[in-house]
Amino acid sequence: MKLPNKLNQFERFRFLLSDAAVYGFGGALNKLLALFTFPLLARYFSVEQFGIIDLLNTTVVLLVTFLVFGQDSAVARFFYDDENSSHRRQVVSQSLAFQIIIFAFVCSILWLNIGLIVDVLSLKTDGELIVKFIILQAPFFVFINFSQGLLKWTFKRKHFLFISVGSTVATLIGLVLGVALFELDIVGVFAIYFIVRGTFGLLGIYLVRQWITIPNNFRILKEMLPFAIPFGLICIAASFLPVFERNVALNYIGADELGFFAAGAKIALIIGLPIYAFETAWGPFSLSIFKENDATKTYQLMLPIFTAFICCTCLFLTSISEFLLILLVSDKYAGAGIVVFALSLTKAIQSIGGVTGLGITLAKKSYIKLYSYLLMILVAFLILPLLSKNFGLSGLAFGSLIAMVTWAVMETYLSQRIHPIEWRFTSTILILLTTIIFGFLHQITLDSYLFKGVSFIPLIGILLIIFLAWFKVFNVDQRTLLTNIFFQKIKH
């Protein structure tokens, strides 16, 4: 299989689509796990209990992000610096050794302070046991993250799918059996997560064993740390926002409203399917071609296509959000769809900002990213409680959107200052503004439906974006390329 840097523009686009489809399949099942378990757990537990489970899951993600601490981004960047296999093994192995040391140290401290953690999370029943399962599963979650990243960077698609799909299916089966055969409680939910992540964490390490060796020294790690540490802080900041959102909902709106927010967030999570597919493929793809003379042309092609696609997905999801809530869980979560547009657009803008902020990664100046993330956290701290008090769940969701827009603008600006790329910003902004306008119109006319649970206003926005993208955004060469790819797919 040829690597992207050996391909022409047409072949690169097909390669990216192929990778996005493959990784998207595995990622889709991971994201669909949340969608499948959402009605399962939401129907089985009370609204308040479901909100607590969602809060704990976001806390687990935050803990794992802290344990990884940017090493995944550092390995991805340094892995492609040298094509020598021995050098790459040292990059991988030194990073893995460092992560093992970190989680051994951190998890030991957490274990000794379980009582304090229970109080902070306000867990009433079986709090200590729940926290123990959370701590125990974290190292294996790190192994899964590590192995999936390495399988992705080495283009081992089948093994990547095995870890992604296998862990997804195993978790779903475990939860279904727990609900059907046992009186599943919150402890049981996290016990199942621990068993599955433990199993697939070890399997993941086994599948990448050819890249793991005894570190000769930690010289490469010393070079990686200045790049990784800012990314670690950045990832923690990004993972902190969902935890902060849920704590604001719990403390400023109420426990039941936390459950409603969690339900709406699960519907918004659906947009993560195409985003995950694109980002998983885009990471190694963009880094593998950046030294080529025509890399900028490829980057310019991908941004408007992805922006138009993800914004249409956001509006479609917004259109059917109430319908999905009623279909998947029941009328008891009706009204939770009010947060779907803002939360799904938040994820879309985060992904688009990740593309336009590519220059920071290429320049190896990851510490620059700290400025945009610190600004995002500051904005979130200032406006989320304020908007939540005055506008409830809708205010909380739009507060998150405003914080993410602030981040994306700053991230793009800083990236252009240190490593300029000739993006077509006008077309991207045009698509985003159209999406915001029709999403906002949907919010203020929630009772206008074509049929129960489906709003027609976002659908009109989709048609307008398709028209604008085809006739105003894409040039003749891009329209020709897309047409050729489409008809080639049809023929196959």
Q: What is the pLDDT of residue 490?
A: 46
Q: Under 8 Å CB-to-CB from 164, ≥6 apart: which residues?
A: 26, 27, 29, 30, 148
Name beta bridge partners: 455: 449
Give me the chain's average pLDDT, please: 80
Predicted confidence band of residue 137 (pLDDT cuts 50, 70, 90): confident
CA dihedral defined by 149, 151, 154, 156, rounded to 10 degrees? -150
Residue 459 and residue 315 in contact, taking contact as beta carbons nearer than 8 Å: yes
Name beta bridge partners: 454: 451
What are 21-46's pLDDT values in tens digits? 665 555 666 666 656 777 777 777 77
Q: By CB neighbour count within 10 A (0-12 exposed, 13-18 middle, 19+ buried), where does 81 fall?
A: middle
d(CA 142, CA 133): 15
What are 445-474's pLDDT values in tens digits? 765 555 656 788 899 999 999 888 888 777
At 482, the amino acid letter reads L
Mean pLDDT of 84-109: 84
At 415, the amino acid letter reads S
Residue 107 and residue 135 in contact, taking contact as beta carbons nearer than 8 Å: yes
| Residue ranges of domains in the chain | 4-491
Report residue 374 CA to chain centroid gap: 19
The 3-state DSSP class for residue 454 equals strand
Q: What is the pLDDT of residue 267?
A: 85
Q: Label the pairing between strands 449-451 and 454-455.
A: antiparallel
d(CA 414, CA 408): 10
What are 290-330's pLDDT values in tens digits? 667 777 777 877 888 889 999 999 999 998 888 888 777 76
Residue 394 and residue 413 in contact, taking contact as beta carbons nearer than 8 Å: no
For the CA atoms of the chain, what is the radius of gyration?
22
**Phi and psi, residue 420, nearest 5°:** -60, 135
